[in-house]
């Protein structure tokens, strides 16, 4: 269309359409020659700028100044000049090795990143440890980076050089040997055959040498009893999976007795259930008679509390009842359980096992007689394949201390032990040791014993050392270093070789030893490489040996009858070993110090556990400091009220009260070793009768859980009895209903949310409450994997521990669960005197309808397309709204800066300690929330590996730290979108069975399912009827 409007022009130039006019037409002030020179030039060049650029220049100037002002500090990272052949930055290397410390054993895989070991996992190829790694073994990694270890040899207080030290020690050993002076090597149990060979070589050089072994947690009584009964002075192999009925007599075989992790695996194998078609619907039954509420007792189906003074008589009563003889009564409660146990044991002939934790050989002889009568030998007990976890000889060690005191010992070499601290006669040794002419310790620090020695020739951590182990006859494993020496330390074996004048190269020695004794010369390089790669060499167990008649039974019975009492009125003290802290050798390990004891949930202390009834009688309440006096020795400890503890007894843990362990370990708790009794040469943890007085002081015990019962909340904890379960695999399940205008509905049918698509993966977990023993290996494993901070005692008291996974422990209550009145609720808070215990591992449930995600104002926590609830630490502003709104209370807030902070002087406060940090996981700053990420870094790594190979991730390839470290496979991780995954199959089987999700009625749709806890207990007819009546009403 023609333009009808008039045209106006500014001047003739526009009318003419001049070239210069067109060029400058955009310019407000017309032609302006100077402008041409600035065209296409930077406005900051300083060449005259036009008006329109003024603000730009101003803005740039402002931005430049502010940017220059906030220059980030430059951290120099130095690349490899020559890249090591096998090391690729950001790619982990794994080495098979062996953890064998103080009788604990595990075949392990060590994950190293850029040359630093950062994680320990179990080696599934080992049929001894079966991939199980205890919390302590997981935590042993941190000891590698303990900044308080010695950095080189010491002579007295002074630093010394290896050459001088070697010369002086060799010379002194020679002179002592020359004049016939006695030389003693004192050690804890040594599992390493090659080390024993080194000691033998040393003994050959210095013939007056004797090797004395002692165990802090001695089972010398058991060894003696087996010697007496069968002529085999060994610790036999036990197989709990072969027993239908297990009876434990003061024996914490799942927590601390001999090889708890091995036993846990076997134990749970006998108790796994499967709701699928033709699945295993039978499990073993476990009776426990004990004083302290142990981890094992917590897992028992039937448990009776007995006093230490009754311990022997329980075994005897069991024997008598089994053989049809009457016995003395041990009180109505105990007798009832005993009778039941006897009936079950008799029925389970050949598939029964009785174990006793007693170190009294007489009691063990009686137990041998019971097992013999039950036909346990050859099935659940194998005398043909001894285990070497405990080789200590209490009598020999006592003899040594006598000799040292008498001054008849010329030289003492201490290897892997700390007797001044952990031997009951440590105080005597402390007096006498400095008088010995030559004393050398291989300890890694100037601890209670080594600080008294003339020389400390520190041995490196096991992850820096070569070695081997033979935990069980015919089962070998190799230990290889995963990092070169951090300090100027030398392996004990090398030192011994050096001092005996041999070649100190222990690696060569080890190879030769294996060539000669284990692998054989044929194709040695190949077999050696394979052994090193696999970590284990298993020659298989010898044929299971059954046992003959038990010798010396009558004498043992007489001794037991004489030394135990059926009923005693006094207050008895008994010592026990904690699952995490153990003997206290790793006391300077903040992970272990902060590890909540599975039953009490207490950390950073030992304490006097008393029963509710005893506490009431003595007027004690939790945290009261009491003075306990036994046989002239006294100790002050806070009180912890422990349901299930035998009345009239006090239990106190060993492994505390270190004086020279280091910053984390010193002064934590009280040393109870001096209280261990010497009963006919055998260390006896039953201390005897005590007087207890209140001091009036109070000392708060740091506990991660303070409420004891589940308050009858069936949406949280669902459990049933075996007989009910066999009838109906959904027994014990809880199905909440909601009344709506359209009738009664399941809460999952009502929702406001659209949910999230999970097109590719749907990561999830199933946690079998029946398989979880509560051992807590997952807690430390998670801590190591995810750089979880240690917060210290006071902060645990303030309820601020940072663990991403916790194991909730609930005691049963005698109160009526259905009573919802005020008094009923109050009564539910009180645990039974002898409660049933249940453990429930709890981490972020990765809810599909996550309450935390909707409330975060800044979208710091979001949902992934793979079902994960993600946390972006960098985006978090720390309102803690998510933590408040989390129904599971799994979110953790960084209340302080936990690294580089002198108030938290743990491993994150020194450069060496920080070496343990997993570089794949951010260390969280203060003011942000953190929580379980379902090991997203592992998921990502697994997916990338699969992608590189152009395939889908294989089930089992990706596994979270908790699932990987669970010895009993209670935690199964996998992709729920993959129907072939182990998890999907398990959930498919258990969908109409035991699988439930916590707090189903709030419909948060967790990715994590639990499988109900089943107890192999008889169904109480009246209670069952009441339950059924209630079930009809259902929950609303």
Partner 1 sequence: MHVTSPVRTPLVTGGKTYADVTEDICKQVEGKPTKEWKVAFVISLAVLAYGTVCLFWTWWEGLGVWGLNKTVGWAWDITNFVWWVGIGHAGTLISAILLLFRQKWRTSINRAAEAMTIFAVLCAASFILMHMGRPWLAYWALPLPNTFGSLWVNFNSPLVWDVFAISTYFSVSCLFWYVGLVPDLATIRDRAQNKVSKYIYGVLSLGWNGSARTWSRYEYISLILAGLSTPLVLSVHTIVSMDFATSVIPGWHTTIFPPYFVAGAIFSGFAMVQNLMLVTRVVYKLEDYITFEHIESMNKIITLTGSIVGVAYLTEFFIAWYSGVEYESYAFYNRMAGPYWWAYWAMMTCNVISPQLFWSRKIRRSVKWTFFISVIVNIGMWFERFVIIVTSLHRDYIPSSWAMFSPTMFDIGDYIFSFGFFFTCFFLFSKYLPVINMAEVKGVIKSTSEKLPLKVSGVSKAERLASPAYKKDAE
- Quickly count: other Cβ atoms within 10 Å of residue 335's Cβ: 16
> Restricting to residues 834-853, which ones interact with partner 1 according to CB under 8 A?
840, 842, 851
Interface stretch with partner 1, choices 168-176, 222-230, 569-577, 855-863 (CB under 8 A): 855-863
Answer yes or no whether residue 433 interacts with partner 1 by CB under 8 A. Answer: no
CB 601 within 8 A of CB 705: yes
Options 12, 67, 822, 1021; binder of partner 1; rule CB under 8 A: 822
Q: Are strands 245-249 and 475-479 parallel, antiparallel or unpaired?
A: unpaired
Extended strands (E) in 734-805: 738-740, 743-745, 763-768
Residue tagged 């708790």 (tokens)? 669
CA-to-CA distance for 976 and 758, rounded, in angstroms?
Answer: 10
886-907 in b/e burial notation, b at 16+ Cβ within 10 A? bbbebbbbbeeebbeeeebebb
CB 526, min distance to partner 1, A:
53
Burial (Cβ within 10 Å: 0-12, 13-18, ≥19) of residue 66? exposed
Site string for partner 1, 885-924 (x = CB under 8 A): x-xxx-xxxxxxx---------------------------
CB 302, min distance to partner 1, A:
25
Residue with smaller CB distance to partner 1, 626 or 807: 807
Answer yes or no whether residue 63 interacts with partner 1 by CB under 8 A. Answer: no
The tokens of 779 are what?
Answer: 């807690």
Residue with smaller CB distance to partner 1, 473 or 711: 711
> Restricting to residues 671-710, which ones interact with partner 1 according to CB under 8 A?
705-707, 709-710
Answer yes or no whether residue 999 interacts with partner 1 by CB under 8 A. Answer: yes
Residue with smaller CB distance to partner 1, 253 or 839: 839
Options 116, 119, 660, 806; binder of partner 1; rule CB under 8 A: 806
Options 42, 512, 746, 854; binder of partner 1; rule CB under 8 A: 854
Sign of CA dihedral 826, 832, 838, 839: positive
Q: Strand, coil or helix: what is 21?
A: helix
User: Apex CA 815: angle with CA 711 and CA 600, to 5°?
Assistant: 55
Beta pairing partners, 960: none
Options 353, 436, 715, 959; binder of partner 1; rule CB under 8 A: 715
CA dihedral (743, 748, 751, 756) in degrees, to 10, reads -160
CA-to-CA distance for 121 and 123, rounded, in angstroms?
Answer: 7
- Quickly count: other Cβ atoms within 10 Å of residue 753's Cβ: 12
Answer yes or no whether residue 800 interacts with partner 1 by CB under 8 A. Answer: yes
Q: Strand, coil or helix: what is 334?
A: helix
Binding residues with partner 1: total (CB under 8 A): 62
Options 336, 799, 947, 951; binder of partner 1; rule CB under 8 A: 799
Options 147, 541, 551, 883; binder of partner 1; rule CB under 8 A: 883
CB 285 within 8 A of CB 340: no
CA-to-CA distance for 127 and 129, rounded, in angstroms?
Answer: 6
CB 141 within 8 A of CB 97: no
Options 826, 947, 991, 1030; binder of partner 1; rule CB under 8 A: 826
361-398 in b/e burial notation, b at 16+ Cβ within 10 A? bbbbbbbbbbbbbbbbbbbbbbbbbbbbbbbbbbebbb
CA-to-CA distance for 1018 and 282, rounded, in angstroms?
Answer: 13
Residue with smaller CB distance to partner 1, 711 or 1026: 711
Collect contacts of 659-662 with beta carbons under 8 A, ≥24 apart.
659/421, 659/448, 660/421, 660/445, 660/446, 660/447, 660/448, 660/451, 661/445, 661/447, 661/584, 661/587, 661/588, 662/146, 662/148, 662/445, 662/587, 662/588
Answer yes or no whether residue 825 interacts with partner 1 by CB under 8 A. Answer: yes
Interface stretch with partner 1, choices 192-200, 505-513, 854-862, 966-974 (CB under 8 A): 854-862
Residue with smaller CB distance to partner 1, 100 or 998: 998
Answer yes or no whether residue 740 interacts with partner 1 by CB under 8 A. Answer: no
Site string for partner 1, 918-937 (x = CB under 8 A): -------xxxxx--------
CB 788, min distance to partner 1, A:
13
CA-to-CA distance for 754 and 762, rounded, in angstroms?
Answer: 17
Q: Are strands 409-415 and 438-441 parallel, antiparallel or unpaired?
A: parallel
Distances (CA, A) of 361 to 214, 643, 895, 907, 1009: 16, 30, 52, 43, 46
Q: Strand, coil or helix: what is 1033?
A: helix
Answer yes or no whether residue 1002 interacts with partner 1 by CB under 8 A. Answer: yes
CB 843, min distance to partner 1, A:
12
Answer yes or no whether residue 859 interacts with partner 1 by CB under 8 A. Answer: yes
Distances (CA, A) of 470 to 120, 189, 195, 494: 20, 11, 11, 20
Spatial CA neighbour of 397 closest among 708, 138, 748, 673: 673
CB 248, min distance to partner 1, A:
26
Answer yes or no whether residue 75 interacts with partner 1 by CB under 8 A. Answer: no
Interface stretch with partner 1, choices 6-14, 658-666, 883-891, 961-969 (CB under 8 A): 883-891
CB 421, min distance to partner 1, A:
34
CB 64, min distance to partner 1, A:
16
Interface stretch with partner 1, choices 502-510, 604-612, 641-649, 801-809 (CB under 8 A): 801-809
Options 558, 858, 944, 1029; binder of partner 1; rule CB under 8 A: 858
Distances (CA, A) of 880 to 149, 805, 930: 39, 19, 10
CB 822, min distance to partner 1, A:
6
Residues 6+ apart with CB under 8 A from 424: 673, 674, 675, 676, 677, 678, 683
Spatial CA neighbour of 429 closest among 395, 396, 452, 454: 452
Options 880, 914, 943, 982; binder of partner 1; rule CB under 8 A: 880
The tokens of 276 are what?
Answer: 């699928």
Interface stretch with partner 1, choices 165-173, 237-245, 432-440, 996-1004 (CB under 8 A): 996-1004
- Quickly count: other Cβ atoms within 10 Å of residue 407's Cβ: 11
Site string for partner 1, 619-648 (x = CB under 8 A): ------------------------------
Answer yes or no whether residue 881 interacts with partner 1 by CB under 8 A. Answer: yes
CB 71, min distance to partner 1, A:
18
CB 372, min distance to partner 1, A:
43
CB 711, min distance to partner 1, A:
5
CB 597, min distance to partner 1, A:
15
CB 750, min distance to partner 1, A:
14
Distances (CA, A) of 765 to 945, 966, 970: 22, 13, 10
Options 1004, 1008, 1011, 1014; binder of partner 1; rule CB under 8 A: 1004
Interface stretch with partner 1, choices 102-110, 215-223, 422-430, 882-890 (CB under 8 A): 882-890
Answer yes or no whether residue 798 interacts with partner 1 by CB under 8 A. Answer: yes
CB 728, min distance to partner 1, A:
23
- Quickly count: other Cβ atoms within 10 Å of residue 272's Cβ: 17
Answer yes or no whether residue 713 interacts with partner 1 by CB under 8 A. Answer: yes
Residues that bind partner 1 (CB under 8 A): 705-707, 709-711, 713, 715-716, 795, 798-801, 806, 808-810, 820, 822, 825-826, 840, 842, 851, 854-859, 875-881, 883-885, 887-889, 891-897, 925-929, 998-999, 1002, 1004, 1035-1036
């Amino acid at each position: 269309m023609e333009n009808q409007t008039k045209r106006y022009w500014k001047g003739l130039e526009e009318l003419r359409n001049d070239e210069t006019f067109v060029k400058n037409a955009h310019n407000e002030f017309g032609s302006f020659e100077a402008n041409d020179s600035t065209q296409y030039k930077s406005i900051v060049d300083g060449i005259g700028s036009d008006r329109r650029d003024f603000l730009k220049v101003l803005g740039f100037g402002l931005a430049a100044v502010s940017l220059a002002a906030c220059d980030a500090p430059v951290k120099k990272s130095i690349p490899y000049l020559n890249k090591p052949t096998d090391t690729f930055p950001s790619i982990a290397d794994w080495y098979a090795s062996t953890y064998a410390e103080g009788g604990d054993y595990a075949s392990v895989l060590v994950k190293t990143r850029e040359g630093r070991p950062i994680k320990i996992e179990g080696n599934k190829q080992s049929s001894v440890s079966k991939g199980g790694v205890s919390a302590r073994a997981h935590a042993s990694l941190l000891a590698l980076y303990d900044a308080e270890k010695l950095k080189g040899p010491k002579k007295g207080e002074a630093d010394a050089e290896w050459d001088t030290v070697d010369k002086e020690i060799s010379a002194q050993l020679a002179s002592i040997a020359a004049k016939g002076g006695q030389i003693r090597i004192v050690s804890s149990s040594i599992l390493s055959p090659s080390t024993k060979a080194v000691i033998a070589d040393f003994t050959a050089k210095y013939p007056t040498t004797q090797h004395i072994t002692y165990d802090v947690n001695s089972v010398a009584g058991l060894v003696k009893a087996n010697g007496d009964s069968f002529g085999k002075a060994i610790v036999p192999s036990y197989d709990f999976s072969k027993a239908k009925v297990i009876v434990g007599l003061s024996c914490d075989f799942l927590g601390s007795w001999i090889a708890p992790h091995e036993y846990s695996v076997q134990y749970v194998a006998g108790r796994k259930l499967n709701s699928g078609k033709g699945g295993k619907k039978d499990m073993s039954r476990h009776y426990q008679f004990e004083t302290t509420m142990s981890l094992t007792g917590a897992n028992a189906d039937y448990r009776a509390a007995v006093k230490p003074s009754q311990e022997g008589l329980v075994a005897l009563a069991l024997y008598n009842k089994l053989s049809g003889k009457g016995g003395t009564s041990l009180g109505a409660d105990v007798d009832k359980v005993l009778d039941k146990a006897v009936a079950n044991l008799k029925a389970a002939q050949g598939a029964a096992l009785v174990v006793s934790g007693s170190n009294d050989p007489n009691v063990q002889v009686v137990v041998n007689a019971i097992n013999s009568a039950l036909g346990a030998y050859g099935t659940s007990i194998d005398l043909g394949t001894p285990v070497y976890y405990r080789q200590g000889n209490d009598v020999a060690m006592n003899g040594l201390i006598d000799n040292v005191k008498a001054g008849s010992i010329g030289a003492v070499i201490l290897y892997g032990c700390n007797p001044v601290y952990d031997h009951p006669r440590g105080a005597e040794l402390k007096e006498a040791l400095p008088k010995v002419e030559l004393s050398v310790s291989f300890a890694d620090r100037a601890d209670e014993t080594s600080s008294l020695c003339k020389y400390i020739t520190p041995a490196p951590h096991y992850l820096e050392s070569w070695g081997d182990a033979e935990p069980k006859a015919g089962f070998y494993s190799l230990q290889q270093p995963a990092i070169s020496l951090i300090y100027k330390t030398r392996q004990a074996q090398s030192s011994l070789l050096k001092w005996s004048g041999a070649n100190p190269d222990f690696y060569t020695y080890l190879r030769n030893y294996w060539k000669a004794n284990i692998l054989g010369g044929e194709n040695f390089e190949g077999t050696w490489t394979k052994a090193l790669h696999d970590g284990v060499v298993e020659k298989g167990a010898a044929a299971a040996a059954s046992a003959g008649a038990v010798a010396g039974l009558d004498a043992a019975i007489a001794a037991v009858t004489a030394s135990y009492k059926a009923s005693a009125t006094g207050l008895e003290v008994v010592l026990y070993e904690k699952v995490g802290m153990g003997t206290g050798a790793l006391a300077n390990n903040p992970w272990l110090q902060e590890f909540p004891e599975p039953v009490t949930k207490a950390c950073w202390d030992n304490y006097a556990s008393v029963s509710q009834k005893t506490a009431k009688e003595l007027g004690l309440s939790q945290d009261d400091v009491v003075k306990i006096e036994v046989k002239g020795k006294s100790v002050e400890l806070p009180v912890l009220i422990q349901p299930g503890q035998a009345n009239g007894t006090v239990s106190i843990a060993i492994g505390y009260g270190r004086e020279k362990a280091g910053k984390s370990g010193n002064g934590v708790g009280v040393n109870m070793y001096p209280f261990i009794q010497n009963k006919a040469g055998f260390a006896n943890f039953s201390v005897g009768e005590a007087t207890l007085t209140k001091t009036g002081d109070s000392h708060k015990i740091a506990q991660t859980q303070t409420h004891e019962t589940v308050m009858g909340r069936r949406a949280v904890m669902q459990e049933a009895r075996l007989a009910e379960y066999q009838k109906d695999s959904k027994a014990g399940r809880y199905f909440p209903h909601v009344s709506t205008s359209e009738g009664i509905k399941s809460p999952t049918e009502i929702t406001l949310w659209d949910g999230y698509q999970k097109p590719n993966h749907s990561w999830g977990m199933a946690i079998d409450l029946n398989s979880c023993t509560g051992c807590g290996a997952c807690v430390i494993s998670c801590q190591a994997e995810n750089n979880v901070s240690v917060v210290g005692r006071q902060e645990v008291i303030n309820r601020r521990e940072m663990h991403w996974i916790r194991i909730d422990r609930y005691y049963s209550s005698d109160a009526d669960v259905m009573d919802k009145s005020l008094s009923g609720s109050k009564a539910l808070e009180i645990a039974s005197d002898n409660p049933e215990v249940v453990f429930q591992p709890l981490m972020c449930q990765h809810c599909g309808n996550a309450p935390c995600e909707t409330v975060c104002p800044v979208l710091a926590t979001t949902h992934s397309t793979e079902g994960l609830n993600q946390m972006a630490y960098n985006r978090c502003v720390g309102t803690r709204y998510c933590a408040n709104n989390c129904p599971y209370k799994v979110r953790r807030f960084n209340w302080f800066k936990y690294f580089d902070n002198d108030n938290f002087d743990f491993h994150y406060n020194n450069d060496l300690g920080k070496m343990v940090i997993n570089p794949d996981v951010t260390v969280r700053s203060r003011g942000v929330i953190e929580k379980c990420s379902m090991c997203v870094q592992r998921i990502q790594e697994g997916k990338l590996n699969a992608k590189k190979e152009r395939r889908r991730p294989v089930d089992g390839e990706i596994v979270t730290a908790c699932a990987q470290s669970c010895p009993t496979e209670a935690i199964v991780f996998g992709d729920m979108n993959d129907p072939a995954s182990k998890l999907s199959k398990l959930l498919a089987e258990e969908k109409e069975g035991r699988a439930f999700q916590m707090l189903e009625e709030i419909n948060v749709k967790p990715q994590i399912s639990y499988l109900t806890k089943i107890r192999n207990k008889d169904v109480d007819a009246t209670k069952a009827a009441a339950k059924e009546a209630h079930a009809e009403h259902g929950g609303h």
